[in-house]
Chains A and B, each alone.
Chain A
Amino acid sequence: MERLMENLLLFTFILYLCAFIAFAIAISGKKIKDQKKKERRWGNIAIGVTIAGVACHLAFTITRILVTGHFPTSNMFEFTTFLCFAIVLAFIVIFFIYRSVVLGAFAMPLALIILAYAAVFPREVQPLIPALQSYWLVIHVGLTALASGMFAVGFVAGLIYLINQVGNQKQGRNGFFLEIILLATLMFVGFIFTNLISSSMGYEAQIAHIVDGEQQVQSYEIPPLVGPADGQVQKMTPFLGLDKPLMEAPAWMKGHESAKLLNSTLWGILVGLLLYGLIRLIARKRISSLLHPLIKDWNPELIDEISYRSTAIAFPIFTLGALIFAMIWAHEAWGRFWGWDPKEVWALITWLFYSAYLHLRLSRGWHGIRSAWLVVGGFLVIMFNQIFINLVVSGLHSYA
């Protein structure tokens, strides 16, 4: 059964990858006469493969439920995998409203990145602690993930809009920040790559240090460029001749995993920059201008509307899942419906941010570029909550 589960996930990944390739083929190529026909044909293939992928992902989710006995949203691996599912599902819904092939060419890579990110986390099955033993786990976390998936599609559309409008601008703030966002995405990919490659090669290092008067050991799965302050190397596979960390984390970062996180972040930045440098070297262009030709012929008004529409669809779902149901569950489990726990606060911030976006758009006429930046920002807030708050700021919600 567990073999089947692993294989289903791998198969899901492959199908998403194929769907991405098909979408990419659909939108690439010169605007020849047959372009429309080719686009339609490959678009149909692509969406078919996407749906097959989602079905496979669903099968994975069901086997995981059978294996673990609970709905798979209880730790980082499970939640992130489910988020990927939500993104693809949301994309399919939007695709059938607007039939936008270009959206797929950007939504699918995002789904792939998120799925790869899930693989960074430990995959073993853990039993549920009492606080999570509730059907609200499915309802609250599931709905929140579905809403986040929909917001993610809004983000993708926002990004496409920006590339469409300012991708070929060599000057100006819009072009610059767009490039920064793309670079940050590359760094995120870099972070995932180093983690996956290094841990699959079985890299190991252990460094002991003192936290609040107690010795703790940090196990690294990627070579420690940064070790904890006053750390003692206990064991370390040499890496390029390196047998102790290159430098130490600042002393105030004394949380028990923070040096390790700093190290992974640093690796992400380095590898991201490296990839970026390579792309610049080969293409001799900004990434945004590299992508621009693929998108420039698409109707910007349509893309703008897709980004708004996805966000508008997601907003009520988010309100229900991440706030109302969250409050009901918190009331049952902890006796208070709201406790200003960091995770809760960031759900509120996400909600306030998008409500500001909606008011700006509807009542103050912020369309186009400004609106696109806002949906990009909103998704960054969501990811910040998912990644930073989960991993760094501890609160009631950090179970994983």
Chain B
Amino acid sequence: MIENTKCECGHNNPIGTILCEYCGKPLDEGQQEKKSIEKEMRYDGVARRSQKKEQNFLDRVWSFFSSVKVAIILIVITLLASGIGTIFEQERLTGSSDPESYYIEKYGVWGEWYYKLGFSDMYNSWWFATLLAMIGVSLVICSLDRVVPLYRALKNQTVPKSTHFILRQRISHQETLKAEDKEEKWKKLIGALKKKRYEVRQEGNSILAEKGRISRWGPYINHIGLIIFLVGVLLRFIVPGWYLEQALYIREGETLRLPDTPYYLKNEKFTVEMYEGEFSNVPKNYQTDAILYEKDKNGQLVPVHRHAIRVNHPLEYNELFLVQADYQMETTGLKLKVIEKQTKKNLGTFSVDFQKISANQVYKVGDLEIRALEYYPDFVLQNGRPATQSQEPNLPAFVFEVKAKGANEGEKSWVISGQDTSSLTPQNKYEIDLEGIETALSSGLLIRVDQSLPIIFAGGFICLIGLVMGFYWHHRRIWIKYEDGKIYLGSHTNKSWYSLRREIDQIAEQSGLRLKLTQE
């Protein structure tokens, strides 16, 4: 619709321009009829790429993503999806290996559909990621689409505007002013504007007073912050070694390699502390006194860092991050007693430590020497043969050899936790029974490496700076012109019109204009 880009004032405008960049007059015939040009004022009528008339495929994609309507729809869909994800707990939290039946059992038909529709793992789903990615793309394109026009609009501001432009502002005013009074009023007006901290530019009989321009950059900076944030999140998935999350249980005294890292960690001491008195069931402190090691060239462990890891006080070393997350009681061994079958006499006890079981280890009870010949941490019978399902001592079973001191030959004795095994070896002289279990606290640590954190937090803070700029400042402009015995005033802001009106009222009062825009 906009063909001629040359304004009456003689200025040549880029194609797509709505208001002349120089004098502000609408270029389009249809526009000139309008009573208000408030809509066009957003970017002072500067051309935007997304509003090109002829569009190829790329232009269409561009227009799609630069549209605020589309952005709002994306935001609302993300919002709804996030909300749906909190109706039932997410799969990750159920701790169930068969989530489908978990949901069906717990929530019936609703649970079934919740699972089937993929809501139970909402935040890891590909389409949720796609939504975020689309918001990201939208942010980039929409910012590019507008930041250039905005820059042009704010950079090229001219002071004298056509009266057409001034009178079609949302706030506009005209009154007659005798030429001899003009000088005095003009001075007062400039004084009042300056008092309100406007930056005043004058050219002949025109004034442009402006303040809070910084506010206009706010949204762009906040969108850039969001883009940086999203890029930071994206990098975690695509750069190898950038991101790591592992849980580790480590017992007091133990030294373990931290999986997928070059480090080793020793738990010197683990403390659980409760409050005293009335609140003895409320925990006060969880603490792992830890030493971090690295291997040197000779394969020796060298301590590099010591830290008391507590909740809210993680260990930080280079990119590594260790957080106190949990603790658990672990069975570390069994206490066993030896009974002489005939007399039912308890001959004494011995303890086996699961970590230190070997056929060479000899346990002594009285005159007897006992060795563990076989050990099955997680006992099962497979085809009638003993075997172990895992290395976790879930159901420990042993074959012990019990031998009198100096004797050549001993007898074999089965111990399977939770089972009476005396019938397996009826001829035995001795029987080994469970006396108790030995436990130790094992500290649960979370191992984290997250190299994108600086990017993510930087993004967050940039976003914040943009928000503060955008919301705690207001871009206000006032155009004043004296022409043919009349004074014209027009004003524009990007938001908070009422406050602007009130401010103009005050300025008018101080400079003696007959203008009252607000009432309470």
- Residues of A near any B CB (own CB < 8 A): 97, 126-127, 129-131, 133-134, 136, 252, 298-299, 301-302, 304-305, 308-309, 312-313, 315-316, 319-320, 323-324, 327-328, 331-337, 340, 342, 345-346, 348-349, 352-353, 355-356, 359-360, 362-364, 389, 393
> CB-nearest residue of chain A relative to B276?
A127
- The answer to whether A345 touches B467, judged by C-beta atoms less than 8 angstroms apart, is no
Contacts of B117 in A (CB 8 A): none
In the complex the two chains form, what is the Cα distance from A342 to B85 in whole Å?
8
Instruction: Report if B279 contacts A (CB, 8 A).
Output: yes
Contacts of A136 in B (CB 8 A): 312
**Which of B69, B83, B472, B494 makes the CB contact (< 8 A) with A316?**
B472
- The answer to whether B82 touches A359, judged by C-beta atoms less than 8 angstroms apart, is no
In the complex the two chains form, what is the Cα distance from A340 to B68 in whole Å?
27
In the complex the two chains form, what is the Cα distance from A389 to B82 in whole Å?
14
CB of B288, distance to nearest CB on chain A (Å): 12
Instruction: Report if B151 contacts A (CB, 8 A).
Output: no
Q: A313-B471, A327-B460, A335-B446 are in contact. Are A359 and B72 (CB under 8 A)?
A: yes
- The answer to whether B279 touches A332, judged by C-beta atoms less than 8 angstroms apart, is no
- The answer to whether A130 touches B467, judged by C-beta atoms less than 8 angstroms apart, is no
Contacts of A131 in B (CB 8 A): 311-312
In the complex the two chains form, what is the Cα distance from A97 to B108 in whole Å?
54
- The answer to whether A342 touches B463, judged by C-beta atoms less than 8 angstroms apart, is no
4 tightest Cβ-Cβ pairs between the two chains A and B: A335-B323, A130-B311, A316-B467, A363-B68
- The answer to whether A340 touches B85, judged by C-beta atoms less than 8 angstroms apart, is yes
Contacts of A323 in B (CB 8 A): 460
In the complex the two chains form, what is the Cα distance from A301 to B498 in whole Å?
7
Q: A316-B472, A340-B90, A364-B68 are in contact. Are A335 and B314 (CB under 8 A)?
A: yes
- The answer to whether A359 touches B468, judged by C-beta atoms less than 8 angstroms apart, is no
Interface flags for B85-113 (1: CB within 8 Å of A; 0: not) read 11000100000000000000001100000
- The answer to whether A353 touches B464, judged by C-beta atoms less than 8 angstroms apart, is no
Q: A316-B472, A345-B82 are in contact. Are A308 and B495 (CB under 8 A)?
A: yes
> CB-nearest residue of chain B relative to A134?
B312
- The answer to whether A362 touches B495, judged by C-beta atoms less than 8 angstroms apart, is yes
Contacts of A355 in B (CB 8 A): 75
Q: A316-B467, A334-B323, A336-B245 are in contact. Are A342 and B86 (CB under 8 A)?
A: yes
- The answer to whether B79 touches A349, judged by C-beta atoms less than 8 angstroms apart, is yes
CB of B2, distance to nearest CB on chain A (Å): 22
Q: A335-B448, A359-B72 are in contact. Are A324 and B460 (CB under 8 A)?
A: yes
> CB-nearest residue of chain A relative to B272?
A130
11 residue pairs from A and B, CB less than 8 Å apart: A97-B499, A126-B279, A130-B285, A299-B520, A305-B496, A315-B467, A332-B313, A335-B446, A337-B453, A349-B79, A349-B82
- The answer to whether B79 touches A353, judged by C-beta atoms less than 8 angstroms apart, is yes
Q: A299-B518, A316-B468, A324-B457 are in contact. Are A305 and B448 (CB under 8 A)?
A: no
- The answer to whether A364 touches B69, judged by C-beta atoms less than 8 angstroms apart, is yes
- The answer to whether B75 touches A335, judged by C-beta atoms less than 8 angstroms apart, is no
Instruction: Report if B519 contacts A (CB, 8 A).
Output: yes
Instruction: Report if B325 contacts A (CB, 8 A).
Output: yes
Instruction: Report if B123 contacts A (CB, 8 A).
Output: yes
CB of B282, distance to nearest CB on chain A (Å): 5
**Which of B78, B284, B448, B464 makes the CB contact (< 8 A) with A336?**
B448
Instruction: Report if B386 contacts A (CB, 8 A).
Output: no
Instruction: Report if B71 contacts A (CB, 8 A).
Output: yes
Contacts of A308 in B (CB 8 A): 495-496
Interface flags for B477-501 (1: CB within 8 Å of A; 0: not) read 0000000000000000011111100
**Which of A301, A316, A328 makes the CB contact (< 8 A) with B457?**
A328
CB of A206, distance to nearest CB on chain B (Å): 21
Instruction: Report if B321 contacts A (CB, 8 A).
Output: yes
Contacts of A97 in B (CB 8 A): 499
In the complex the two chains form, what is the Cα distance from A283 to B123 in whole Å?
51
Contacts of A334 in B (CB 8 A): 323, 325, 446
Interface flags for B428-467 (1: CB within 8 Å of A; 0: not) read 0000000000000000001010100100110011011001
Highest count of chain B CB atoms <10 Å: which of A312, A313, A332, A352:
A352
Tell me the total A-B contact number using a CB cutoff of 8 A. Answer: 131
Instruction: Report if B310 contacts A (CB, 8 A).
Output: yes
- Residues of B near any A CB (own CB < 8 A): 68-69, 71-72, 75-76, 78-79, 82-83, 85-86, 90, 107-108, 123, 245, 275, 279, 282-286, 310-314, 321, 323-325, 446, 448, 450, 453, 456-457, 460-461, 463-464, 467-468, 471-472, 494-499, 518-520
Contacts of B76 in A (CB 8 A): 352, 356
> CB-nearest residue of chain A relative to B124?
A340
Known: A334-B323, A345-B86. 16 other contacts (CB 8 A): A127-B282, A130-B283, A130-B310, A130-B311, A299-B518, A316-B467, A324-B457, A324-B460, A331-B453, A334-B446, A335-B448, A340-B123, A342-B86, A345-B85, A362-B494, A364-B69
Contacts of A313 in B (CB 8 A): 471-472
In the complex the two chains form, what is the Cα distance from A304 to B498 in whole Å?
9
CB of A252, distance to nearest CB on chain B (Å): 8
CB of B474, distance to nearest CB on chain A (Å): 10
CB of B220, distance to nearest CB on chain A (Å): 13
- The answer to whether A345 touches B72, judged by C-beta atoms less than 8 angstroms apart, is no
CB of A94, distance to nearest CB on chain B (Å): 12
In the complex the two chains form, what is the Cα distance from A315 to B218 in whole Å?
13
Contacts of A345 in B (CB 8 A): 82-83, 85-86
**Which of B313, B450, B467, B497 makes the CB contact (< 8 A) with A301?**
B497
CB of B404, distance to nearest CB on chain A (Å): 50
> CB-nearest residue of chain B relative to A323?
B460
In the complex the two chains form, what is the Cα distance from A320 to B82 in whole Å?
20
**Which of A316, A319, A359, A393 makes the CB contact (< 8 A) with B75?**
A359
CB of A43, distance to nearest CB on chain B (Å): 11
In the complex the two chains form, what is the Cα distance from A394 to B78 in whole Å?
22
In the complex the two chains form, what is the Cα distance from A335 to B449 in whole Å?
9
In the complex the two chains form, what is the Cα distance from A165 to B205 in whole Å?
43
- The answer to whether B283 touches A129, judged by C-beta atoms less than 8 angstroms apart, is yes
Contacts of B108 in A (CB 8 A): 252
> CB-nearest residue of chain A relative to B273?
A130
> CB-nearest residue of chain A relative to B313?
A332
Contacts of B79 in A (CB 8 A): 349, 352-353, 356
> CB-nearest residue of chain A relative to B461?
A324
- The answer to whether A333 touches B312, judged by C-beta atoms less than 8 angstroms apart, is yes
> CB-nearest residue of chain B relative to A136?
B312
- The answer to whether B498 touches A319, judged by C-beta atoms less than 8 angstroms apart, is no
- The answer to whether A130 touches B312, judged by C-beta atoms less than 8 angstroms apart, is yes
- The answer to whether B464 touches A319, judged by C-beta atoms less than 8 angstroms apart, is yes
CB of A335, distance to nearest CB on chain B (Å): 3
In the complex the two chains form, what is the Cα distance from A315 to B472 in whole Å?
11
In the complex the two chains form, what is the Cα distance from A129 to B282 in whole Å?
7
Q: A324-B460, A349-B79 are in contact. Are A302 and B72 (CB under 8 A)?
A: no
Contacts of A315 in B (CB 8 A): 467, 471
In the complex the two chains form, what is the Cα distance from A301 to B472 in whole Å?
20
- The answer to whether A337 touches B464, judged by C-beta atoms less than 8 angstroms apart, is no
Highest count of chain A CB atoms <10 Å: which of B86, B107, B448:
B86
- The answer to whether A127 touches B464, judged by C-beta atoms less than 8 angstroms apart, is no
- The answer to whether B457 touches A327, judged by C-beta atoms less than 8 angstroms apart, is yes
Q: A334-B325, A352-B78 are in contact. Are A364 and B446 (CB under 8 A)?
A: no
In the complex the two chains form, what is the Cα distance from A305 to B461 in whole Å?
27
> CB-nearest residue of chain A relative to B68?
A363
> CB-nearest residue of chain A relative to B135?
A352
> CB-nearest residue of chain B relative to A352?
B79
**Which of A134, A316, A320 makes the CB contact (< 8 A) with B471?**
A316
Contacts of A389 in B (CB 8 A): 86
In the complex the two chains form, what is the Cα distance from A359 to B68 in whole Å?
7
In the complex the two chains form, what is the Cα distance from A349 to B123 in whole Å?
13
Contacts of A327 in B (CB 8 A): 456-457, 460
Contacts of A309 in B (CB 8 A): 496, 499
**Which of B107, B284, B495 makes the CB contact (< 8 A) with A127?**
B284
> CB-nearest residue of chain A relative to B219?
A362
CB of B114, distance to nearest CB on chain A (Å): 14
CB of B389, distance to nearest CB on chain A (Å): 27
In the complex the two chains form, what is the Cα distance from A327 to B76 in whole Å?
22
Contacts of A337 in B (CB 8 A): 450, 453, 456
